[in-house]
Chains A and B, each alone.
Chain A
Amino acid sequence: MHEQVDSVKTYALVWIVLLILTAVTTAVAYVDLGAFSVVVALVIAVVKMLLVALFFMHIRHSTQLTRLVVMGGLIWLFILLLLTFADFSTRGWTGVPGR
């Protein structure tokens, strides 16, 4: 089998980091960072997502094809967000009544 078994230590370390990041994101929400609070919250969430995906979901041991499919899916999600916001954020620009 090509199956790679990670050590308990690796998983436990990832788990502890995830718990610490949860505490950090909760604590930082009570600090006034202005517009950056959303950025910080999302960066921490993305880091947690990457930790879960790479270690717990074994992306780091997965085939190139699986990685390509995952990346493809995320790109489609990005397109969904990008095009919708390109619309919503520019609707006021033309000055057309009722937009």
Chain B
Amino acid sequence: MASEGHAETLALREQFDTADQQKDASTLGMWVFLITEIMFFGGMFLAYSVYRSSYPVVFAVASSSLNAVIGAVNTAVLLCSSFTMVMAVRAAQLGQRRAILIFLILTLILGMVFLGVKAYEWNEKFVEHHVPGPTFHLEGVEMQGPAQIFFSLYFAMTGLHALHMVIGVGLLTWLIIATYRGRFSAQYMTPVDIAGLYWHFVDIIWIFLFPLLYLIDRHLR
């Protein structure tokens, strides 16, 4: 159990028998939260699926107006950040403070690169009049209404995903400070582990968003 130096962070709450049990409860609690997030994003994926099945051609044209190369590169950036995150968790399991710091900072940088690219893409949409509203116009389709639905879904889904990324960046910043102050050790690294779960979850959402938004029937163009 607790060594003197970590007495505060290692504190075993009275409702738990062992530190392992306390850790398992934290993990389970985080997963329950992630389930609510799955249902939250699930509703958006459902709306997307219904409208895509209603207007397959418009969705294919609208999807092909997105830059698939930038999308793929950003997917790779996010996957790299998941790798550095899991390496940070591994370093935490082994109690290597310096390695945790390095990998968390790398994850933070990659997360911000992703958001930067996303901001560039959104700006492109404004320049091209692909933002739903009075000035909206998508070339190559008769039905501008359903095309606006596609871009409404695009902004809602990537926006919500980006919001989760911003929260993730905040969590990472906090973790980096806490690691720097020596809060974590091989005995106590629950926050690093839990934040890792969150980061990977946000990655998984993007794994589905990328093919569904960027890669509809590309061969038609």
Contact = CB atoms under 8 A, between A and B. Distances in A.
Interface of A: 1-3, 5-6, 8, 11-12, 14-15, 18-19, 22-23, 25-26, 29-33, 37-38, 41-42, 44-45, 48-49, 52-53, 55-57, 62-63, 65-66, 69-70, 72-74, 76-77, 80-81, 84-85, 88-89
Contacts of B50: 84-85, 88
A15 B28 contact: no
Given A45-B211, A69-B28, A81 B49 contact: yes
10 contacts: A19-B76, A25-B211, A25-B215, A29-B215, A30-B218, A41-B211, A42-B211, A56-B83, A57-B200, A63-B28
A84 B50 CA distance: 9
Nearest to B79: A18
The 6 closest A-B pairs by CB, nearest first: A73-B35, A29-B215, A41-B211, A15-B83, A29-B218, A32-B219
B124 interface: no
Contact of A15 (B39, B79, B215): B79
A20 to B, nearest CB: 10
Given A41-B212, A52-B207, A80-B46, A69 B83 contact: no
Contacts of A45: 207-208, 210-212
Contacts of B76: 19, 22
Contact of A49 (B68, B83, B196, B207): B207
B204 interface: yes
A75 B166 CA distance: 29
Interface in B154-204: 186-187, 196-197, 200-201, 203-204
A29 B35 contact: no
Nearest to B63: A29
A89 B50 CA distance: 9
B83 A12 contact: yes
Given A11-B83, A45-B207, A57-B197, A31 B219 contact: yes
What size tier do the contact residues of chain B reach?
Answer: 35 or more
Contacts of B93: 3, 5
A52 B203 contact: yes
Nearest to A87: B50
Contact of B79 (A19, A32, A66): A19
A13 to B, nearest CB: 11
Contacts of A62: 27
Contacts of B85: 56
Contact of B204 (A1, A53, A65, A88): A53
A53 B204 CA distance: 8
Contacts of B197: 57
B149 interface: no
A49 B202 CA distance: 11
B121 to A, nearest CB: 16
